[in-house]
Structure 1
Amino acid sequence: MAVKSYSKLDEATLAVLRDQVRTLGSVAAVAHKLGYSRPAISGALNGSYTGGTDRLRARIVEVFLDAVLCPHLQAPIEPEECRWWRTRPCPTSRASDVRHWAACKTCPFNPDRKEPTL
């Protein structure tokens, strides 16, 4: 039986998480604000989080950052706009909107992104 390997949080996201621990004063306070358990956030910080980090990464971006660098647009957008694009139904009016929507399906910031099957 193959063991699934999950990616860890990237350095930029870890830096945001560490900064918030310093700002809020504790891992527990950060975990509460994110809606995660303290052990989950501690594990993410020390690299021992055993699950996938896509949803956690997206939650950190939504809660603590004022903007997300959209890989499709190559421009900063607000977290709410990012969430709107990735959760909306497939648009049918403009080809550019369909391309943006499709790009969201594989975006690393999309917590619902499906891992490619091998």
Structure 2
Amino acid sequence: MTRANADWFQMLRDAVGASSQSAVAKRLEVSHTTISLVLSGKYAGKTDRVAARVLRVFGQVQCTHTGQQIELTVCVSYAARRAPLNNPLELSHWRTCRTCPNRPVKGEKQ
């Protein structure tokens, strides 16, 4: 299992531990059986769709600019946007995103 796979899988286990398989399945919009099979390692299909849903629903990172926990989707939107040249505060945040170790978007630095 790669590090990325381990991360989403651990998120799934933590979410189930904090509530229940049924509650997590409902939030992820999958069946209870799917969650059970994935957790037991007996899911017959690819888990990439389940992983994507787990990351979308439960994925959070600590923003190095604000110090707050933010959803992974928010982090991605900040990291992937163009430089906000008309707003000095947003530009400062954007610059921090460019060198952030949590940065989910890789590519050329602008």
Give the TM-score taking structure 2 as reference length.
0.51
For residue 103 of structure 1, give the secondary structure of its aligned residue in structure 2.
Answer: helix
- TM-superposed CA distance for 1:75, in Å, is 0.9
Tell me the residue number matched to 2:58: 64
Tell me the residue number matched to 1:17: 9
Tell me the residue number matched to 2:49: 32
- The 1-side partners of 2:55 and 2:7 are apart by 12
Question: What letter corresponds to residue 70 of structure 1 in structure 2?
Answer: C
CA RMSD of aligned residues (A): 3.4
Larger radius of gyration: 2
The answer on 1:91 being equivalent to 2:84 is yes
- The 1-side partners of 2:11 and 2:54 are apart by 12
- TM-superposed CA distance for 1:92, in Å, is 0.9
Which digits, 9 at most, give the CA deviation of each residue in 1:10-67, with x for residues without a partner?
Answer: 9xx94652352575221547433225xxxxxxxxxxxxxxxxxxxxxxx9644423x4
Question: What letter corresponds to residue 12 of structure 2 in structure 1?
Answer: Q
Greater share of helix: 2
Question: What letter corresponds to residue 88 of structure 2 in structure 1?
Answer: A
Q: 1:80 to 1:18 in 2, by over 3 A?
A: closer
- The 2-side partners of 1:19 and 1:79 are apart by 12
Unaligned runs of 5+ residues in structure 1 are: 1-7, 36-58
Aligned residues of 2:84 and 2:94 also touching (Cα < 8 A) = yes
Task: Report how many aligned residue pairs link the two structures.
Answer: 82
Unaligned runs of 5+ residues in structure 2 are: 22-34
Aligned residues of 1:61 and 1:68 also touching (Cα < 8 A) = no
Give the TM-score taking structure 1 as reference length.
0.49
